[in-house]
Each structure stands twice: as structure tokens, then as C-alpha cells.
Structure 1
Amino acid sequence: MFVRISSVHLWGLALAIVSYVSPVCADAQQGLGSGVPGAPDVSVNPNYHVYRWVKDGISYLQLNDLKGGVLMAVEVVQDQLIVLPMGSLRAVPKNGRAVDQLEEGELVYGNSDATISVKGDTFEVTVACGNPADCSTAMMQPSP
């Protein structure tokens, strides 16, 4: 036994599904951790995208490659840096002080909260603070 469904009913059903799903999918495509996060690109380097958000006094920075791949994301709280668990780069163990910073790295992002620089395949994120020897910093490299 076949039930006859008119094309008008099918189109109506399709539109209902699309209108229900579209807002959910749109939200899933934006924000921290996505390839196109919906925040302005604040990078000073044409080879990378840096996106910045501030919420409740906390700065969030996300570094993407030119194809939209997330390389890393960090959180800056006052003068402390927290590497967030996302992106293709991994933290390189070090003592956490700017004394070990990259020599002659190329600037990717710089603001009053932090800087991101790159040399080769190594990225460095340093929080701006009064005494450079006490500034929180992280070195990031591609996973082996």
C-alpha cells in the first residue's frame, strides 16, 4: 500500500527541517575553536589569522592557519597564560619564563595583553607584564 504525498507537502517538510536546523548549524560554525570564529582578525602577519575575544575580563586568543585550521588557543588572565586544549600545535616543555623566548621571531599578533611570534614552525605566546623575566610564556610546535 502506497501513500501519496504531494510535492507541496514534501517541500513544506523540507523547509520546516531547514528552518529548524539552520540556526543550530550556524551557531556550531562560529566561536572559539572553529575555523571561522566570527571575531575580527587581529593578526599583523598575512600568513596567519588571530582572533581575540574578551569576556568577564579574560582574553581569549586563537591562532589559525590561512585555510582556517586551528593551530592553538590561549586564555590570558591578568599576567597568566593558559594554553587551551585545542588546535594542531602542542606545548613545548620549558620553564615558563620569557628568558627562553624566540630570538628574532616574526610578530603575528601584538597587543597590551599578549604577543604571538613565530620562527620556523615554533610559535611563542607571551603575556605582557611589568617585568619581562616574570612574564608567562608558552612555546608551541606541531605534534610529531
Structure 2
Amino acid sequence: MFRKPLGFASRGALTALFVALLSTAAFAQAPSTGLGQSWPNAADVSVSPHYHVYVFVREGIRYIQVNDLNGTVRGAVALADNVVLVLPVGADAQYVTTQSSAQSVASTTETVFSDANTRITATPTSTGAVQIHVASTPASVPTICTNPANCSGAVKGLPGG
């Protein structure tokens, strides 16, 4: 039985299709590098016009970084298995709190990131620092908000969500 080899145009079309599929898969995932950078090569998923928020994923751990409008890294956290770890990254790292930490809500508190499992707020202080608060809710399947249009101030399952 004879097999007809694929023509040049057919191989080129298959190669282009394969490259397109790989590119689409790469864009669907959060980047794994850039944490701590002022302007990382990552999508800004902030729901606030006053902050930039970037999500990174590496080895199943989500890293969320909050920058101000000037690109100054204010703080970052790591999330895995419903555990939030404050990272020693950013100008206001010492002001990052978690849901188990005490938090007072000020009128200037603003939600900067929210998805099905995590809500992050930022509150400017009188000293110029930014208080960042992270609240994480248990979930069976972690989700990543990579599209700002789908990230909202309301957490699904809670009143108003």
C-alpha cells in the first residue's frame, strides 16, 4: 500500500495550527515569573482604577501582587490549599494582613482583586503606606481571575455576589 506524503502547504498549515494551539494555551495560564517587578509581563486583573494587580502561578501556588499606579510594588501574597502567606515583597509588605489578622475597615478601603476564592482590599493610610488585606474562602477547585471584566468586587456566594 502506498502512502501519499503531505504536501508543503499541508505541513505548513499543520505547523501553523500547532503553533496557534500552543499560543492559546500559553495565554490561558497565568505567568510563572515576574513577581516583584514594577511592570511584569502579566495581565493587570485589578478591579480598581487606582491599583494594578498581577497573578502568577508556579507549581500550583498562586502569587498575587498589588502595585500602585506608578508601578511601585505595595505587597504580595502566596495562596495554596486555602492558606495565605504574606510575602516579604513590596514597599508596604509589613502592612499586609490576612483574614485571621485584625482589620479595621475604613471608608477609603477599596477592593482591588476578587475572584471566587480570594478578595483583596487596599486602604491608604495617613503615612502614605497602603494597608492590604487578604480574605480567602475555602474552595474545592481553585480559580484564577485572568480577565478584569470577570473579576468583580462581589464574591460569588456572598450577599451581592
TM-score, normalised by the number of residues in structure 1: 0.60
Mapped partners of 1:73, 1:44: distance in 2: 16
After superposition, the Cα gap between the structure-2 partners of 1:78 and 1:60, relative to the gap in structure 1 and judged at 3 Å, is: same
- Consecutive unaligned residues of structure 2, counting only runs of 5 or more, are 1-32, 126-130, 140-161
Question: Within 5 Å, which residues of 2 pair with 1:1-144?
Answer: 31-92=34-95, 97=100, 100-103=102-105, 105-121=109-125, 122-129=131-138
In 1, are the aligned partners of 2:44 and 2:54 still within 8 Å (CA)?
A: yes
Aligned residue type for 1:73: A
Structure (1 or 2) with the greater helix fraction: 1
After superposition, the Cα gap between the structure-2 partners of 1:115 and 1:58, relative to the gap in structure 1 and judged at 3 Å, is: same
After superposition, the Cα gap between the structure-2 partners of 1:123 and 1:56, relative to the gap in structure 1 and judged at 3 Å, is: same
Percent of matched pairs sharing the same residue: 35
Aligned residue pairs: how many? 100
Mapped partners of 1:106, 1:116: distance in 2: 9
TM-score, normalised by the number of residues in structure 2: 0.54
Structure (1 or 2) with the greater strand fraction: 1
- Consecutive unaligned residues of structure 1, counting only runs of 5 or more, are 1-29, 131-144
Deviation readout 1:18-71 (Å, 9 max, x if unpaired):
xxxxxxxxxxxx711111111100000000000001222211000001111111
In 1, are the aligned partners of 2:97 and 2:103 still within 8 Å (CA)?
A: no
Shift in Å at residue 97 of structure 1? Answer: 1.4
Whose radius of gyration is greater, 1 or 2? 1
